[in-house]
Chains A and B, each alone.
Chain A
Amino acid sequence: MKNLNKLIVSITIFLTFFSCKKFLETKPTDFITPENYYNNEREATTALLGLYTAFNDNGNGLYAGNALTGWVLPTDEVFRNTTSGVNCLTYDFTDGTIGNYWNQCYRYINNCNSFLENIDKPVMDSTRREVLRGEALFLRAYIYFLLTSQFGDVPLKLNSTQSVSGVNISFSSSKDVYAQVLKDMILAEGKVYDIDASKQQPVRVSKQVVRGILARVNLYMAGYPLLETARYQDARDWAKKVVDANKNALNSDYTQLWINIARDAYDLRENMWEAEFQAPQPPYFRASGWGGQTGLGIACPQANTDVGYVLDWYKIAYSLSDRYRTDSSDIRYNWNIAPFFYRGNSGTWETSRDSLNTTPALRVQRVIDKNPGKLRRKFEVIRPAVGTSGMNFPILRYADVLLMYAEAENELNGPTTTAINLLNLTRVRAGCKKLYSTTATESYFLITDKDSFKRAIQDERSRELCFEFVRRNDLIRWGIYQQTILAESAKFISNNYQTVMSSVFNRVLDKHNFLPIPVSELSLNNLAKQNPGW
């Protein structure tokens, strides 16, 4: 009995006084914490590549198929054939798509901030460290650029969020945000690799990309709403720097350019920067690019391994079609506006849209039935008979740089020969007649003044860059967004083809120059303020 007593007492003592401190210390076993990361170059690189998923993230990627990016429809190029939602001007501040876009932007800004705070941690080659830092700086600046160009004043956060409290943050003026964007991008330009650096992976930003985007940023700043016209000089300088570096050029064949995109053949000389997508390769899955089922391709309602599977969602606006009509030799017309679609079970059966409309009048009237044709799935190498497309999406093309250069030059110095020559580069490639400033014999379009050249540029940008997420913001910075959309509405009536879509265009108001600040931000950040009119 006595032994038993001892045993019980000792068990009790053991149980009561064993180290409960150690027992209570548990550590996560199936995830990594940020504090334990960034130990070496490899880890730093995986974190940097993570920043690029801002664009192709499944569901919310800023350039993923059916994402909002820049690209709130309708424009005078394309519209979505439906009557409600963010593409039909029925959205308000509760719209989930806009909320997701906002959240995605800040999620990756926070990732960039975290990356920049940790990049000095790994022991690694200092040059390569600066390259990574430069990319992160640029990506953060680019996302801020997207944000402020869509929403105007936004919170400017340059440190990562460390705590769930203290998350109220005041909005910075668009001017301040742009200033930070410029600062970071210029810093990045000095750090990132040159375009031909051997180790560079094709979708990562190079000096040329940073310069091209800097031209774009400066052009936006020069236009509405900041109207800092002095920025035209910077825009011109950055664009010129791209051109003078002599590392980029237009692909001589406009259609080949898009075939290359479809084939995932990186044509970095012209397609300077692309958002990368990849056909699903199990087990990995990424969001579909814009070539996919709900994307900008040629309608093929029945899935088919030859030509892919695309819903008949996106339709051509009258204005875009009209712009090509001025020059019948423009090869971009029948490429960008697909003259056919795929019908029936056999996806190879191309059906001419025009053939369905027997009279010329009907053909004009029904031009809006056509689909965008830039992204053609039949050229995809991996062509699964499904909705997902691995087609990349161009964020910056050399053609755009040339046109920006021309535009800035015109704003600064009027339609100089330099400006006109720049504009002619894309026109000539497309098989169009050149523009001339003098009445030469070959002249087709005569440019006499700054305004007519500006109009020529505006139209040329549309012909060349349609469906590349730049139109809406171009119209806004030119200060003609609302009037252009209203004019498009009128074209439905003048073409005697009044569908419900004309009323969609008719909904545009002045407030639509900016997107509304999403409800989640307004209700959770008490320093948030709504844009006027919302």
Chain B
Amino acid sequence: MFQHSPEELSKQRGLQTILILNSQCQSMKKILLLDVFSSKRKQDKIILVMKLTIASIILVVSQVFASDVSSQKKVSLKIQNAPIKKVFNEIERKTNYRFIFNDDILPSEQRVNIEVDNEYVSTVLDRVLASTNLTYKIPSETVIVIAAKTISSAPNFLPIKTISGRIVNERGEPLEGASVKVKGVSKGAVTNSNGEYKLQIDEAKDKILVVSFAGYAQQEITVSKLTSTITLVSLVEDLQDVVVIGYGNVRKRDVTVAVAKVNVEDLQKAPVMSFDQALAGRATGIQVVSQDGQPGAPVNIVIRGNNSLTQDNSPLYVIDGFPIENPDNNVINPAEIESFEILKDASATAIYGARGANGVILITTKKGKTGPPRIEFQALRSTQKVLQRIELMNPYEYVQYLYELNPTNTLATYLRNVPNDPVLIDSVMNIYKKFKGADFQDAVFGQPAPFVNFNLSMRGGTDKTKYSLSGNYANQEGVVVNSGYKRYQLKFSLDQTISSKLKAGINSTVTYTNQYGVQPVGSGTSGLAGGTSYLMASVWGYRPVSYTGNIDSLLDLPNDVAIDPSNTSQIFNPLYSTKNEYHQNNQLNIFANSYLEYQISRNLKLRLSAGVNQTGIRRENFYNSQTSRGRIASTNPNGVNGDYSISNSTNITNENTLTYNNTFKKNHRLNVLAGFTNQSNVVKTNAGSATNVPNESLGMSGLSQGVPGIPFVGSTKNTLVSLLSRVVYDYKSKYLFTASLRADASSKFSDENKWSYFPSFSAAWRFSKEKFMDKLRFVTDAKIRYGRGSTGNNRVSDFVTFSSLASGYTPVGGTFNYITNLGTLGNRALRWETTNDNNLGIDVELFKGKLSFTIDVYEKVTSDLLLNAPLPGSSGFTSGFKNIGKVSNRGLEFSINTNNIKRKNFTWTTNFNISFNRSKVLELAENQEFQFGFVGWNGNYNSSPLYIAKKGQQLGLMFGYVSDGVYQYSDFDKSPTGVYTLRNDVTTSYTTRTSLPTPGSIKLKDLNGDGVITAADRTVIGNGNPLHTGGITNNFTYKNFELSIFFQWSYGNDIYNANRLVFENGSPNSPLNMLNMYKSYTNRWSPTNQTNDMPRANPGLPPGNYYWSRVVEDGSYLRLKTLSLGYSLSPKTIKKLKNAVNGLRVYIATQNLLTFTNYTGFDPEVNARPTALTPGFDYSVYPRANTVTFGINANF
């Protein structure tokens, strides 16, 4: 009854204890206690205290302390004629010691008498055990181990030898708690925290040692061949060699599908807030384009091309086994990522069936590992700076331009009512030469912004319990004033082996993020003519000088009082507004996932898991009177106003899988998986707003005093049930086969279309194992693989199969009445979108891993496209969800890794990858030959299409008129009275030939030669898709230094620089809204500067404000994305520091240091309207900052 199993002990002490004895000891006659507890205990203790202090984390873990007398408890006992057990019992009762012993070894007959008063426990035990065959050890403050005496038990005639050594893993890290046993004998040892063991053996008998450690392959070593260091090989294998493939892992060599593994270590060298900002160029087949450079800006990740025209093309994320469709990537702390895989082809993603069509990103986060607590501290501080500036016209050029645009008004203002005489005008204009002009770019994003990021983690465990606890704080201020992003995160995971058959674990993360400040891309009202309400547009367009000549007041006042006394100009002082606007986007994300694993038999394992992902988002916007949208002016009926929304989404997943794993006749390996999963997702949203808020000083809280808007309350839900199965078979790792079948049922579809089946098959042939390859010794490993399969997509909103009634209020007879109307058209016949995919790949490793490469070619065809298809207006609806159309994507991917130099002090490795993808529209909505893509940004242009998806062509082609310079005098006949009339043989770009065009007007190409520009003259003018994208990483190490250089590129894509439609095109506007222009516009056509590029001021817009090709630019770029230089302390130095730290790395890293491009906008890495139809659009985006980072990583 006083026998304590280690399990019980661990319960008593909160967590796992220490030792050695387990149920297997039952038959042991002798227990050899090792000197696990070496002499320098105190020192260790101090270090541990240090560790904990630094960590500021209190965690109960087992600790091994010395059993030296001074730290012992004293005890008083009076026992007469009792069994020895009774003594132990009494000591346990009176102290906090617990005894560990084996009943069998206690002499049951023997009775003891003892009477002591306040004696050391050890003294008591010495006396009690003196007459027995037993000894004891006190390995910790609370445990006493009773064991049989070894040496004295029998006379020892044979030579005894003490052997010792060290046990490490493949990375050379010490393994604590590994066991070294003599084969066939119950004699063994366990390693200490340094992986060291000591064992006395009988040289004559003990020939073979068995070295084992949970999770590692057991090794048998002949004593005679024993080396001082034994390296155990992980069964899970090194993560570098294992690929997570969804519901399981495979060895990289045995992969039969197209999966890209991102080098997480390289990824983590980039000093960024979220992994997606560093993902571009890291792996093949994945295209990553961020919308712009704003902290927390969404990043568009597309795997192997867009499948869907109108629906979301982002991949499915599986984070620690938990599928999430649209996670906020900012919630995932890059430092917490352990491995990152991208499943690309259908044979890989089919196991995620329903939602795998856009590819799957598998993210595994860091967990606890066996070993002592390992404390890691990472800190970085960056300085972000926007170096790019668009050159704008100076005050003199501005006034000159205004005069050309609108002489009457300019005479009355900037030219101070001088008589209309060229000489006088010139002299007044010259005054403006002395003004420098207000620089709004400098004011709005001229200041360097700091970014700090701290990670602190503690991980460790024993072979039964593993834990991980980590925290993160990141604060990235935006380069634009009053903007930024913050993240606070706590993460905890625990894996516990409950019994030899049962294992359980939990993994949870709590993240709070806070994004604040104006968002330039979404800052404007796209309906407004001129698009001037966007932040960057108003930064560029705001007048550089007032006609009173005062620049300071321009910067410091909301509007130019001289020109705009009533504050009704479309453009408001952007600096002023940005400083005063209040935008908050707070998000609390709780992610918790737990599992139970039960080994039913040796080969059969059941795993049950359940998780919840809860996200609460609160958005707040408040516009006080000092902002563009809240100003007190006749044009703003809302006055001071604000709005908020609160949304809560709860995603609950349950997955149950059964895995059968066996090897037959040594060579036939079989792994069978069957599973059942279900998932539900509920989103509830509340929103409210108020206008004309009387007390703006109260901010958001003042909304309750304003005039309330109609509150919004919404809720939606979807569920998914799936059955999945997979068979993986290989013969000698030479012929490998995988087949999977998944059935999914989604609540989004009506009963008859709920279920869909997604099969896949793949095979691989590792021909390097064939005999004929023996001659080619340099080939270490080579494999060819082929896979095909189908996957699905259900990315439509939850209730699109239902028609809806829209409701509202309309005035009838002077009062507002509640009304209903038809809203959207449901489609009960809607079904899953299916992607069929073929992939052929080859993986080759040469010269023992010095060089390895992978090539994949694929073709995927997506049919039954879930399309929000436009409907003819006569149907009463303009769009409805249909399964229609077909898109194909073909591509080639190539990646190569080389170990160029591997010397003791110097290594150089290179990773290069390149991807090609071509999409093709095979079919479109009923009868359609093409579909237009529209971009909302400017009321003048919104109704003209800028993109076209045409049958037989690529997605994302830009569409418009071909520019042909500007009309010159030579295009006109001049009448004797000086009137210019367009020559008969010259095409007009306007609907007339008389009033327009005039010399300097915009000239477009008349493609069909009918003498007039009509809609028929539009053509493809650009392509938003790159020919290829890729990246190259070079890593160098020299002694303790390491250098990592990462270049990333995109080649052959065009960007529609819509900024230039506004800022190199002096269109007439009311005097209030006269915009400043780009500096380049000084080279516009004028009678004295008859250039053939940019139109004159006030050129007259061609009908319909058509898009023309002049501003299509080559968006190719090569970017030095990350450059990092690090220095790590050598093991020697660490030793000198007496193990105060286990590792220390300091580094300097830069992000976006250099970009080679011909693009004239802020940044070629831009996608302001990220949909499949509209890639490569640039208007008023947030500039991307260049960052310089200093960081430190320390391990304790």
- The reply to whether A49 and B710 contact each other, CB–CB distance below 8 Å, is no
For the complex formed, measure the closest distance between the CB of B354 and the CB atoms of chain A, giving whole angstroms.
Answer: 12
Most buried by B among A8, A52, A283, A388: A283
Instruction: Kindly state the separation between the CA atoms of A347 and B870 in the bound complex, as whole angstroms.
Output: 46
Contact of A92 among B874, B878, B1103 (CB under 8 A): B1103
Residue of B nearest to A54 (CB): B821
Q: How many A-B contacts are there with CB distance less than 8 Å?
A: 277
Would you give the 0/1 interface string for A502-528, flagging 1 where the beta carbon is closer than 8 Å to chain B?
010011000000000011110111101
- The reply to whether A387 and B716 contact each other, CB–CB distance below 8 Å, is no
- The reply to whether B812 and A201 contact each other, CB–CB distance below 8 Å, is yes
On chain A, the residues within 8 Å of B424 by CB distance are none
- The reply to whether A282 and B927 contact each other, CB–CB distance below 8 Å, is no
On chain A, the residues within 8 Å of B811 by CB distance are 56, 276-278, 284, 286, 390
On chain A, the residues within 8 Å of B996 by CB distance are 83, 500
Residue of B nearest to A30 (CB): B714
Whether a CB of chain A sits under 8 angstroms from the CB of B1100 is: yes
Find residues 1-51 in chain A having any chain B CB closer than 8 Å to their own CB: 1, 4, 8, 11-12, 15-16, 20, 23-26, 28-35, 37, 43, 46-47, 49-51
Whether a CB of chain B sits under 8 angstroms from the CB of A204 is: yes
- The reply to whether B713 and A34 contact each other, CB–CB distance below 8 Å, is no
Instruction: Kindly state the separation between the CA atoms of A525 and B925 in the bound complex, as whole angstroms.
Output: 11
Number of interface residues of B (CB under 8 A): 99
- Tell me whether A56 and B810 are in contact in the complex, defined as CB-CB below 8 angstroms, given that A15-B656, A164-B869 are known contacts: yes
On chain B, the residues within 8 Å of A16 by CB distance are 656, 676
- The reply to whether A385 and B634 contact each other, CB–CB distance below 8 Å, is yes
Whether a CB of chain A sits under 8 angstroms from the CB of B497 is: no
- The reply to whether A167 and B871 contact each other, CB–CB distance below 8 Å, is yes
- The reply to whether B1103 and A90 contact each other, CB–CB distance below 8 Å, is yes
On chain B, the residues within 8 Å of A388 by CB distance are 637
Contact of A52 among B804, B807, B810 (CB under 8 A): B810
On chain A, the residues within 8 Å of B566 by CB distance are 302-303, 345
Contact of A30 among B715, B718, B1105 (CB under 8 A): B715
For the complex formed, measure the closest distance between the CB of B832 and the CB atoms of chain A, giving whole angstroms.
Answer: 14
- The reply to whether A506 and B871 contact each other, CB–CB distance below 8 Å, is no
Contact of B812 among A24, A106, A203 (CB under 8 A): A203
Instruction: Kindly state the separation between the CA atoms of A274 and B811 in the bound complex, as whole angstroms.
Output: 12
On chain B, the residues within 8 Å of A284 by CB distance are 710, 809, 811, 816
Whether a CB of chain A sits under 8 angstroms from the CB of B262 is: no
- The reply to whether B823 and A106 contact each other, CB–CB distance below 8 Å, is no
Contact of B803 among A25, A33, A519 (CB under 8 A): A33
Whether a CB of chain B sits under 8 angstroms from the CB of A53 is: yes
Whether a CB of chain B sits under 8 angstroms from the CB of A304 is: yes
- The reply to whether B1015 and A93 contact each other, CB–CB distance below 8 Å, is yes
Instruction: Kindly state the separation between the CA atoms of A29 and B802 in the bound complex, as whole angstroms.
Output: 11
Instruction: Kindly state the separation between the CA atoms of A95 and B881 in the bound complex, as whole angstroms.
Output: 25
Whether a CB of chain A sits under 8 angstroms from the CB of B77 is: no
- The reply to whether A283 and B502 contact each other, CB–CB distance below 8 Å, is no
On chain A, the residues within 8 Å of B877 by CB distance are 107, 110, 161
For the complex formed, measure the closest distance between the CB of A505 and the CB atoms of chain B, giving whole angstroms.
Answer: 11
Residue of B nearest to A49 (CB): B819
For the complex formed, measure the closest distance between the CB of B412 and the CB atoms of chain A, giving whole angstroms.
Answer: 14
Whether a CB of chain B sits under 8 angstroms from the CB of A256 is: no
- The reply to whether B876 and A23 contact each other, CB–CB distance below 8 Å, is no
Instruction: Kindly state the separation between the CA atoms of A43 and B807 in the bound complex, as whole angstroms.
Output: 11
- The reply to whether B813 and A202 contact each other, CB–CB distance below 8 Å, is yes
Most buried by A among B820, B930, B992: B820
Whether a CB of chain A sits under 8 angstroms from the CB of B25 is: no
Whether a CB of chain A sits under 8 angstroms from the CB of B1142 is: no
On chain B, the residues within 8 Å of A122 by CB distance are none
Whether a CB of chain B sits under 8 angstroms from the CB of A384 is: yes
Instruction: Kindly state the separation between the CA atoms of A507 and B993 in the bound complex, as whole angstroms.
Output: 10
For the complex formed, measure the closest distance between the CB of A492 and the CB atoms of chain B, giving whole angstroms.
Answer: 11
Whether a CB of chain A sits under 8 angstroms from the CB of B872 is: yes
For the complex formed, measure the closest distance between the CB of A59 and the CB atoms of chain B, giving whole angstroms.
Answer: 9
Whether a CB of chain B sits under 8 angstroms from the CB of A155 is: yes
- The reply to whether B1104 and A110 contact each other, CB–CB distance below 8 Å, is no
For the complex formed, measure the closest distance between the CB of B330 and the CB atoms of chain A, giving whole angstroms.
Answer: 28
For the complex formed, measure the closest distance between the CB of B949 and the CB atoms of chain A, giving whole angstroms.
Answer: 12
On chain A, the residues within 8 Å of B816 by CB distance are 278, 281, 284
Instruction: Kindly state the separation between the CA atoms of A28 and B806 in the bound complex, as whole angstroms.
Output: 13
Instruction: Kindly state the separation between the CA atoms of A48 and B260 in the bound complex, as whole angstroms.
Output: 58
- The reply to whether B926 and A524 contact each other, CB–CB distance below 8 Å, is yes
Whether a CB of chain A sits under 8 angstroms from the CB of B907 is: no
Whether a CB of chain A sits under 8 angstroms from the CB of B691 is: yes
Whether a CB of chain B sits under 8 angstroms from the CB of A255 is: no
For the complex formed, measure the closest distance between the CB of A159 and the CB atoms of chain B, giving whole angstroms.
Answer: 10
Would you give the 0/1 interface string for A410-444, flagging 1 where the beta carbon is closer than 8 Å to chain B?
00000000000000000000000000000000000
Instruction: Kindly state the separation between the CA atoms of A8 and B812 in the bound complex, as whole angstroms.
Output: 65
Whether a CB of chain B sits under 8 angstroms from the CB of A70 is: no
On chain B, the residues within 8 Å of A49 by CB distance are 810, 812, 817-819
Whether a CB of chain B sits under 8 angstroms from the CB of A399 is: no
- Tell me whether A103 and B745 are in contact in the complex, defined as CB-CB below 8 angstroms, given that A15-B608, A161-B825 are known contacts: no
For the complex formed, measure the closest distance between the CB of A504 and the CB atoms of chain B, giving whole angstroms.
Answer: 8
On chain B, the residues within 8 Å of A526 by CB distance are 926-927
Contact of B804 among A31, A160, A167, A283 (CB under 8 A): A31
- The reply to whether B814 and A264 contact each other, CB–CB distance below 8 Å, is yes
- The reply to whether A50 and B873 contact each other, CB–CB distance below 8 Å, is no
On chain B, the residues within 8 Å of A321 by CB distance are none
For the complex formed, measure the closest distance between the CB of B818 and the CB atoms of chain A, giving whole angstroms.
Answer: 5
Contact of B991 among A12, A23, A507 (CB under 8 A): A507
Find residues 871-922 in chain B having any chain A CB closer than 8 Å to their own CB: 871-878, 880-882
Residue of B nearest to A147 (CB): B874
- The reply to whether A164 and B1015 contact each other, CB–CB distance below 8 Å, is no
Instruction: Kindly state the separation between the CA atoms of A170 and B214 in the bound complex, as whole angstroms.
Output: 75
- Tell me whether A106 and B873 are in contact in the complex, defined as CB-CB below 8 angstroms, given that A34-B803, A53-B821, A161-B825 are known contacts: yes
Instruction: Kindly state the separation between the CA atoms of A113 and B877 in the bound complex, as whole angstroms.
Output: 13
Contact of B713 among A30, A83, A114, A169 (CB under 8 A): A30
Would you give the 0/1 interface string for B558-599, flagging 1 where the beta carbon is closer than 8 Å to chain A?
000000011010000000000000000000000000001010
Find residues 1120-1145 in chain B having any chain A CB closer than 8 Å to their own CB: none
On chain B, the residues within 8 Å of A169 by CB distance are 872, 874-875
On chain B, the residues within 8 Å of A173 by CB distance are none
Whether a CB of chain A sits under 8 angstroms from the CB of B827 is: yes
Instruction: Kindly state the separation between the CA atoms of A279 and B295 in the bound complex, as whole angstroms.
Output: 41
- The reply to whether B805 and A528 contact each other, CB–CB distance below 8 Å, is no
- The reply to whether A12 and B872 contact each other, CB–CB distance below 8 Å, is no
Contact of A26 among B709, B717, B805, B827 (CB under 8 A): B717
On chain A, the residues within 8 Å of B880 by CB distance are 164
Instruction: Kindly state the separation between the CA atoms of A160 and B821 in the bound complex, as whole angstroms.
Output: 13
- The reply to whether B928 and A524 contact each other, CB–CB distance below 8 Å, is yes
- The reply to whether A37 and B805 contact each other, CB–CB distance below 8 Å, is yes
Most buried by B among A155, A161, A386, A507: A161
On chain A, the residues within 8 Å of B818 by CB distance are 46, 49
On chain A, the residues within 8 Å of B1100 by CB distance are 83
Instruction: Kindly state the separation between the CA atoms of A6 and B202 in the bound complex, as whole angstroms.
Output: 47
Whether a CB of chain B sits under 8 angstroms from the CB of A225 is: no
Residue of B nearest to A160 (CB): B876
On chain A, the residues within 8 Å of B943 by CB distance are 94-97, 99
- The reply to whether B876 and A106 contact each other, CB–CB distance below 8 Å, is yes
- Tell me whether A164 and B716 are in contact in the complex, defined as CB-CB below 8 angstroms, given that A282-B708, A283-B708, A507-B991 are known contacts: no
Find residues 667-697 in chain B having any chain A CB closer than 8 Å to their own CB: 676, 678, 680, 691-692
For the complex formed, measure the closest distance between the CB of A321 and the CB atoms of chain B, giving whole angstroms.
Answer: 23
6 examples of A-B residue contacts, CB within 8 angstroms: A24-B746, A43-B820, A49-B812, A107-B877, A386-B635, A524-B927
Sample of 7 further A-B pairs with CB below 8 A, known A24-B746, A163-B829: A26-B719, A26-B798, A31-B804, A160-B822, A204-B812, A388-B637, A507-B991
Residue positions of B touching A, CB distance < 8 A: 499, 501-502, 565-566, 568, 596, 598, 606, 608, 633-637, 654, 656, 676, 678, 680, 691-692, 707-710, 713-719, 721, 745-747, 754, 798-799, 802-814, 816-823, 825-827, 829, 869-878, 880-882, 925-930, 942-944, 991-992, 994-996, 1014-1015, 1100-1101, 1103-1105
